[in-house]
Structure 1
């Protein structure tokens, strides 16, 4: 299983990637995790990335691609991988294609977590954390008894500062501009597999498994 997870912020791609990892024992690979790990371990690439970030610049696609290639060489990735949040743009998609070519492997699928903008806005603007228990909730989707339980225990439903409509609108705009073109890119290559990403997590996961031929 060698797949790319595509989808807007709030589409659930990270959640579904973790479930696939648990089901099949192949690693979920996130560039954010790779960067943090490389910096913490002070690897050669990590030191380069740290210097770039400390200067206030963005880590280049070349550095990220090198980290991805290195990660593919780890034993746990021999049976496959789930790329979560990479590639983010067409340049990174081409870089990934080159890395896979060098290693003599191919992608099996690019999964698109397909969900409407209206649902995304509710998922993101509705996110809350119970100040008492730390439990993640959603004022639109969580059962009322869970929300009430937090309040009854003396907790508050806290919202992240960047979960307001303006900030989320900006994030979705960036996604549409930079990442959405990947849909056409992978469709052209016959790799795109859309999955309806609305509903309960287990329902979405069942649809994902069916789409990937794992059911």
Structure 2
């Protein structure tokens, strides 16, 4: 494109020369032949430039197509990864919610059947899922479990937990929950509910 203006200037200059000096015999040569040669050369140059431009345009289009394709693939991969993460998070949330409900219902059934050990264990397990729902998914389930667990601790139902792993799990779950009312009762749990297997 940068050669078009100089070539046009040259052609216009030659045409102006031809109009100003219409074929005099005293120049010693036929300048019209020179003009025709220059115009032919300019035409050949213009045609060659168009061919080169067409070929380079095809290469540029291929590069542009490759770039757009690479960008689209990257966007699709990012979107697919985001959708996969969202789907997995939703599945985890639903699974946690389901486990929470199952433990809550099972604990309530055990409580109504006077199986206080089982009820206490189920409520503590439900507390673990409730903590996950709150911390990871911002779902606040209220204080239903705090009330139920506190009632079992304070109610004198003769709950005895002898397994050391279960005892550790209960303490860790209560601390992780951040429920101050239950954390304050850890001393009571250790003294009244926890017993060693040897003493049973």
Bin of the TM-score, shorter chain as denominator length: under 0.3
* Structure ranking higher on relative contact order (CA contacts 8 Å, 6+ apart): 1
- Greater share of residues in helix: 2
Normalising to structure 2: TM-score of the pair? 0.23
Bigger Cα Rg: 2
- Greater share of residues in strand: 1
